[in-house]
Structure 1
Amino acid sequence: MKTYTSVIFWMRALACLSIVLIHAITTTFIQSDNIGKGTLIRVIQLLLMFSTPLFVFISEFLLAKNYHTSIKKGFFKDKLLFLGIPYVCINIGISYFYFKPKTFTEFLGFLESTMFHGAAVTYFIVIILQFYILHFLFSKYLVNRNPILMVLFSVLFATVYWGIRQFIPQPESPILAWFWDREGWMLFLGWLSYFILGFYTGIYYEKLMANIKKYTWLILLGTLLSTAFLIFNYVSGVSTWVESKRFDIPIYVTMIILLFFLFSAYFKYVPKFIIFISNYSFCIYLLHYFFVNQLGLLREDSAIRNIVFTFIITVTVSICLAYLINQFKWGKYIIGGIGHIKYEKVYESYKHGKVD
């Protein structure tokens, strides 16, 4: 009987739903001209910024957990097919349907921006592909290093990287200025902590889960403090950016990830809804941007109702469209594939103690 890793279902489902909610909040404020007026909602949005980092973390965690320091034959070919082709197709779609170019030349300009300059939500796929290359090149070296020291160093490095972009003025040099622009998002440097954490939690997963309960209060305290630090920086004006490319996000996301593992150590059961959303998570991530910005306001005087309305409609339409397109053999190459994990099999494994 197959053993399922319960934390992955939770991570995928909550990360993709949070991404949609983040963009539902953003589009509501834009359409109602209330940006900056809903502090509480913006803080909630800020706290959801673990979403994209969580997606890229999952990619390395699963690779390290399943293959350790090796990579199966044909791995890169498969990833180019199932990640690379949807990356191109979705960017073509965004360049046309979202940006609405008036000429073919303008369309090509938008396509260049989405493909190579991080102008679309698809940039996370580029980061994931870089993680795979890093794993191939450095996994045999990393496995012999001290995991705790490496994680701490990588969090510090990522913090400094985002801090430099945030607090130091963009230099005049075209080459250096490149790191301050959207292209800087697409480099693995700012996301390095999630790669390192994903690698070591994947390599030492069994040991981590056997001992994590010993650190329950430490993880809870660390999560509380990193959350408080994040909120303080925003409310006090130290950093008013509401995005995942902040200097205080790496430590916050690290604690959120550890909190997920801690939660899964105590609760193995995975609800049917979470498995369902997890199966559709990649498609939801890729498709939601076509709809979340196109819906009008439900009510001008209620931001909450409009956010909920936009969120529910966007998730529902994205799932329906993903299902329809994936009925064709080529569908998974266009908008990403749907997972085929059955709740019944997971539940059966859960009853037999095969869900870890």
Structure 2
Amino acid sequence: MKTYTSVIFWMRTIACLSIVCIHSITTTFSKMNHVEHDTLIRLIQLLLMFSTPLFVFISEFLLAKNYHVTTKPGFFKEKLIYLGIPYILINLGISYFYLKPDSLQQYIRNVGDTMFHGGAITYFIVIIFQFYALHYLFAKYLVKLKPLPVVIGSIIFATIYWAFRQFWPQPDLPIIGLFWEREGWMLFFGWVSYFLLGFYIGIYYETFMTQIKKYTWAIILGTLLAITILVTNYVSGFSTWVESKRFDIPFYVTMVILMFFLFSAYIKYVPKFILYISNYSFCIYAIHYFFVHDLGLLNGDNPFKNIVFNLIITLCLSICVAYLFNLFKFGKYIVGGIGKIKYEKVYESYQVGKMD
């Protein structure tokens, strides 16, 4: 019987719902400009910024767990088809339907921005492809190193990378200056800590899970510390960016990831809803942008109600569109494929695990 990694279902679902919630908050405040931006809601939005890093972490974790230092034959061809084609088509769609060009020339510029300059949420697919390339090139060397110093070093590196972009003035040099633009989002440098964390947890997954309960309080306290740093930096005005490209995010995301695995060590059960959203997670992430910013206001003076309204409607529309497209043979190449993991199989695996 196949054993499922239950934490992945939780990660995909929470990350997926969080990213829709983030954009629901953004669009609510952009349309309710007469309403003061609630600090509490902004803090909630900030604390949800683990979403995209979690998605890219999952890609490397699964690759390392399933194939260790290798990749299966045809791996890159398969990923180019199932990730690359949706990347192109969704960017073509965003460039027209969301950015609304006035001319063909403007549309071409929009396509260039979304496709090559990180101008759309699809940039996370570019990061995932970079992770695949890093795994292919360096996995056999990384596996020989001690994980803890490498991961800690990568968190420090990523922190410095984002701090430079945030606090150091952008130089006038043509190439180096691009690191301060959206192109800097698309490079793996700021995301490398999630790659290495995913690699080592994936490689040593069984050992990791047998040991993680010993560090329960360390992980909980570390997470609280990371949250405190994040919130303090925002409330004090030291760093008011609300995005995943902050200097204090790598440490925070690392602790959130460890909390997911700690949770999984105690609770392996996956509810139907979690599995259902997990199966649709890539589609929701990829196409929700077509809806979330075009919805009306449910209540002109209550941002919370509008956020919930946007979240629910966007989620439902994204699932319906993904389902309809996937009824056709080539639909999965347009909006991404839907996972086919059955609840009964996961539940059966969970029950066997309990008996073990």
Band the TM-score falls in, shorter-chain normalisation:
over 0.9
Match of residue 220 from structure 1: 220
Q: Distance in 1 between matches of 2:101 and 2:178?
A: 25
Amino acid aligned to 2:175: I
Q: Distance in 1 between matches of 2:98 and 2:186?
A: 21
What secondary structure, in the 3-state scheme, does the structure 1 residue paired with 2:160 have? helix
Matches within 5 A, 1:103-252: 103-252=103-252
Q: Distance in 2 between matches of 1:28 and 1:127?
A: 28
Matches within 5 A, 1:275-294: 275-294=275-294
- Offset at 1:354? 7.9
Q: Is the 8 A contact 2:86 2:335 kept in 1?
A: yes
Q: Is the 8 A contact 1:213 1:262 kept in 2?
A: yes
- Provide TM-score, normalisation by structure 2: 0.99
What secondary structure, in the 3-state scheme, does the structure 1 residue paired with 2:301 have? coil
- Offset at 1:37? 2.3
Q: Is the 8 A contact 1:349 1:355 kept in 2?
A: no
Q: Is the 8 A contact 2:35 2:301 kept in 1?
A: no
What secondary structure, in the 3-state scheme, does the structure 1 residue paired with 2:353 have? coil
Match of residue 333 from structure 1: 333
- Offset at 1:176? 1.1
Match of residue 37 from structure 1: 37
Change (3 A) 1:110 1:160: same
Q: Distance in 2 between matches of 1:212 and 1:34?
A: 48
Q: Distance in 1 between matches of 2:99 and 2:75?
A: 34
Number of matched pairs: 356
Match of residue 66 from structure 1: 66
Change (3 A) 1:98 1:207: same
What secondary structure, in the 3-state scheme, does the structure 1 residue paired with 2:218 have? helix
Q: Distance in 2 between matches of 1:269 and 1:299?
A: 37
Q: Distance in 1 between matches of 2:178 and 2:34?
A: 32
Q: Distance in 2 between matches of 1:64 and 1:277?
A: 24
Match of residue 78 from structure 2: 78
Match of residue 91 from structure 1: 91
Q: Is the 8 A contact 1:6 1:355 kept in 2?
A: no
- Provide TM-score, normalisation by structure 1: 0.99
- Offset at 1:340? 0.2
1:59-88 deviation digits (Å, cap 9, x = unpaired) = 000000000000110000000000000000
- Offset at 1:296? 1.1
1:250-273 deviation digits (Å, cap 9, x = unpaired) = 000000000000000000100000
Q: Is the 8 A contact 1:13 1:275 kept in 2?
A: yes
Q: Which runs of 4+ in 1 moved over 2 A?
A: 34-37
Matches within 5 A, 1:259-338: 259-338=259-338
Q: Is the 8 A contact 2:57 2:197 kept in 1?
A: yes
Q: Is the 8 A contact 1:2 1:354 kept in 2?
A: no
Q: Distance in 2 between matches of 1:302 and 1:29?
A: 10
Q: Is the 8 A contact 1:275 1:343 kept in 2?
A: yes
Match of residue 4 from structure 2: 4
Unmatched tracts of structure 1, length 5 or more: none
Match of residue 52 from structure 1: 52
Q: Is the 8 A contact 1:209 1:265 kept in 2?
A: yes
What secondary structure, in the 3-state scheme, does the structure 2 residue paired with 1:194 have? helix
What secondary structure, in the 3-state scheme, does the structure 1 residue paired with 2:284 have? helix
- Offset at 1:34? 5.5
Amino acid aligned to 2:99: F
1:274-307 deviation digits (Å, cap 9, x = unpaired) = 0000000000000100000000111111000000
Match of residue 24 from structure 2: 24
Superposition CA RMSD, Å? 1.2
Change (3 A) 1:162 1:77: same
Q: Distance in 2 between matches of 1:163 and 1:146?
A: 26
Q: Is the 8 A contact 1:69 1:136 kept in 2?
A: yes
Q: Is the 8 A contact 1:346 1:355 kept in 2?
A: no
1:11-67 deviation digits (Å, cap 9, x = unpaired) = 000001000000000000000016862100000000000000000000000000000
Q: Distance in 1 between matches of 2:150 and 2:270?
A: 31
What secondary structure, in the 3-state scheme, does the structure 1 residue paired with 2:118 have? coil
Amino acid aligned to 1:193: S
Q: Distance in 2 between matches of 1:169 and 1:274?
A: 43
What secondary structure, in the 3-state scheme, does the structure 2 residue paired with 1:152 have? helix
Unmatched tracts of structure 2, length 5 or more: none
Tell whether 2:230 aligns with 1:254.
no
